[in-house]
Amino acid sequence: MNKSNKNHGKILKVSSERKDVVIVGGGFAGICAAISAARQGANVALVVKDTTLGGLQDQYSKFPAAIAPENCFPHAREGGIYEEICLRILRFNQEGTHLGQSRVLQEIISNEERVSLFFNCIPVNVEFSPDGSSMLFLQVFDPTRLHRRTFKSKFFIDCTENSQVAGLSPAFVPIEHDHGQNIMQSVGLSQKLSSVITLRKSLKDMPFSSPEWITWKWEENSLLAKVDLMESLEISLEGEHLIEWHGSSRPELMSSEGLAWCAWDYLKNRSPVSGVLRNYYMDSISTHAVVSKEYRGKSVFDLNTCDIESGKAYPDSIAISYAPLPSPESLQFSSRNQIAISAPFEIPLRSLRAEKISNLFWVGDNIFSPAEVHLSLVHTPTLSNLGSACGVATALLCDSGRNFSDSSFIREVQESLNRDNQLTALTNQSNQENKASKSKVTASSTYSVSSSDLKEKCSISFSDHFLVQIPFLSSKIEKIQVSLEFPQETIIEIKLLEGSSQNLAFPGKCLMSDRVTFQPQKVNKQELSLACKITTPGWHFLELQANEKFGIELEHNSPCGTSLHTKLSVLKNKTKNPYSLFHPFNSAITCLHQGPMIDITPPQNLFCPSNLTNANFRSTELPNLWVSQKTDFKYPEFVELNWPSPIEINHLDITFDGAYNYHFPSFPRSYDHYFIPSIVKDYNVYIIDESNQSKKILEIRDNFQSLNHHEFDKLCISGLEIEILSTHGLNRVQIYQIRVF
């Protein structure tokens, strides 16, 4: 319904929209919530106050994961719809800009038929039922079109950064109620100011004199802010750079624009790079200030620090987070100086639902929790997974036959998220409907771990010691051969340690230790006799330490298995780790995994085809994927699933190796590759029908997603074959899981 009213001589348009789910906020949480709800069959309205998508992320970074926390867990990049979005941005935002990212995000939303997108909509009013237990409608105002819209819906999700919807509800309480103080003011977040400046190069010198109204100096800023800016310039002078003013004090009249000119004055006239910036100029300024929040939502269940540190499990867990806890310095200054957690922690669905309003959900800044917990929940990957969970839950609740508290409903939400490869709990949850688990799996070949034929390799030297993370399947390990380099006779201390926590990311109890003298030799393969009993299969750690400098050979793009951990002091690391002196190597897009060159006796059958039908879709306690032998794809690689009797299917899920230890780049344009090399590019799917005839049902080309859902008319089959023709660069096939429904 549309009508018009007179408003001070202008025409004010008034309209009403009715949807199943209304989501407010155009950041990654809101986008994931909208997509997940729509794919569950709900009609969705995505209401955004800006003219672009991306939220605050668009102001801070070129890529969504750029401010994701560094964690101490290998293979721990979040999956789910967030993963799907990131891979699409990596592929199509090749210019690496804010605008390019927003363009890709809008294209993603436009492809969802059940999502209606509304820009320039500012929430102005919320109406509740007489008893205040539910929201009836939300009113927004579009100042550019003088248009007031009323959204009526069964459920509302607040994904805004400053609680634009939830703050109007009785479910919101002052932050002072949390530990008796205003957390945001106490940590000085209201003082944070930022700008994104764009630098361009000219053919002539471009001198710059600071405007008279700029009375403050960049030198007065915090050291961390200065370091961040210089690190950005090291990547590329031309382009966009984030600048921030941190600390508890700043000039009263400083604005985001003034901050930009202040930084530019320093760079051009007094910085160490003033000479190389001689012919550069500042082309544009994108400003943003972080607003202090005084209210936060009261949920059905409130997370606290003890829950996180104890690794508490919840029956209604819908996401896990690897985000470190912030230290006092990071609360005041930036994302630096974070403190690693001992294990990932679960987040229950109850913490996302308003306590007093049955049809209001929220994520991120709106959640009522202690400051340490709160700031660990607002990292983009975690926010995105929470948004997906809210979208699935609200869409399913639109069916009046479901109850929020029922275990069957919770299980349905968890299974739906698992189908999108989003981890919902720390323990594996198998899907009984997956008919692949009842099949016999065979493959064209299986990778055998051996360093004898490794060609693409490099070596890294260390002055003291490092860790090698190794998965063991055998109950006893006899020996390990590792490629080490010694410039002279060297005594090395050897330790074999158990893994100690979820994902077994940190070393635990020592199983054996020894001192070995090594001599330099032409063949660097050194044999370490362990003869050690393994009580629990999974990740273990080999620690090598010497007083002399020595090195270890690494293979480029080795299979997920062995991982190198270096001392924290060696890396430019922002995360403090009280559980280990080491940190896993992060991968790069052209080299997904640098694994130490190790042979284990007895050999470990880590990459067999049977991994394809277990409950794991990523590396957790073990690698959990099938890997083929190295190939040039002159002849296709394949996997086959066969059932003893015919089954009916209409859905196939394939999870390729998306390299979960790879962190998406902050500056995509600084890379020459826009695909994950281990993801399968071209493949065919065949079925064996009841008459034992082979038939091609799918022909996929130019795939770049790690997870592929395939739906088709119901088929009666006795076998299934996936024929792999090529990858995006890797010389073997790596697949985590096949699901058949």
Q: Which helix (H) or strand (E) holds 99?
A: helix 98-110
- Compute the average pLDDT of residues 479-493: 84
b/e sequence 222-235, b meaning 16+ C-beta within 10 Å: bebbbebbeebbee
Q: Pick the residue with more confidence: 713 or 587?
A: 713
**Cα–Cα distances in angstroms (integers) from residue 685 to residues 238, 455, 652, 719, 724, in the given order:** 46, 33, 10, 11, 9
State yes or no: pLDDT of 60 exceeds 50. no
Measured in degrees and rounded to the nearest 5, phi and psi for residue 327 equal -80, 165
Q: Pick the residue with more confidence: 301 or 335?
A: 301
Predicted confidence (pLDDT) per residue in 353-391, tens digit: 988 889 999 887 666 666 667 667 777 888 899 999 999
Least confident of 76-90, 109-123, 166-180: 166-180
**C-alpha 309: how far from its chain's center?**
21
Confidence of residue 575 (pLDDT cuts 50, 70, 90): low
- For position 333, what pLDDT does the model report? 39
Q: Do 497 and 540 meet the contact criterion of CB atoms below 8 Å apart?
A: yes
Please classify residue 623 by burial: count the beta carbons closer than 10 Å to its beta carbon, then call 0-12 exposed, 13-18 middle and 19+ buried: buried
The pTM (predicted TM-score) of the whole model is 0.84
State yes or no: pLDDT of 257 exceeds 90. no
Confidence of residue 219 (pLDDT cuts 50, 70, 90): confident
3-state helix, strand, coil in the chain (%, to 5): 20, 35, 40
Percent of the chain with pLDDT strictly greater than 90: 35
Measured in degrees and rounded to the nearest 5, phi and psi for residue 392 equal -65, -45
- For position 56, what pLDDT does the model report? 56
- For position 693, what pLDDT does the model report? 92
**C-alpha 719: how far from its chain's center?**
35
Least confident of 210-219, 365-374, 726-735: 365-374
**Which among 244, 216, 217, 356 is positioned nearest to 300, based on CA atoms?**
356
CA separation for the pair 135, 112 (Å, rounded): 26
Predicted confidence (pLDDT) per residue in 538-556, tens digit: 889 999 888 878 888 888 7
**CB count in 10 Å sphere of residue 460:** 16
Highest mean pLDDT among 5-14, 115-124, 574-583, 616-625: 115-124
CA separation for the pair 712, 700 (Å, rounded): 14
Q: Do 740 and 685 meet the contact criterion of CB atoms below 8 Å apart?
A: no
Residue with tokens 């819209």: 149
Highest mean pLDDT among 326-335, 522-531, 568-577, 624-633: 624-633
Q: What angle do CA 571, 583, 307 make, to 5 degrees?
A: 130
Q: Do 559 and 470 meet the contact criterion of CB atoms below 8 Å apart?
A: no
CA separation for the pair 267, 281 (Å, rounded): 11
Q: What is the average pLDDT score of the chain?
A: 81
- For position 55, what pLDDT does the model report? 73
Confidence of residue 626 (pLDDT cuts 50, 70, 90): very high
**Which among 358, 364, 371, 422 is positioned nearest to 392, based on CA atoms?**
422
Give all strands (DSSP E) within 220-337, no chain letters: 239-245, 280-289, 295-297, 317-321, 325-326
- For position 181, what pLDDT does the model report? 33
- For position 570, what pLDDT does the model report? 44
CA separation for the pair 318, 164 (Å, rounded): 24
CA separation for the pair 261, 251 (Å, rounded): 14
Measured in degrees and rounded to the nearest 5, phi and psi for residue 463 equal -90, -15
Q: What angle do CA 357, 360, 363 make, to 5 degrees?
A: 125
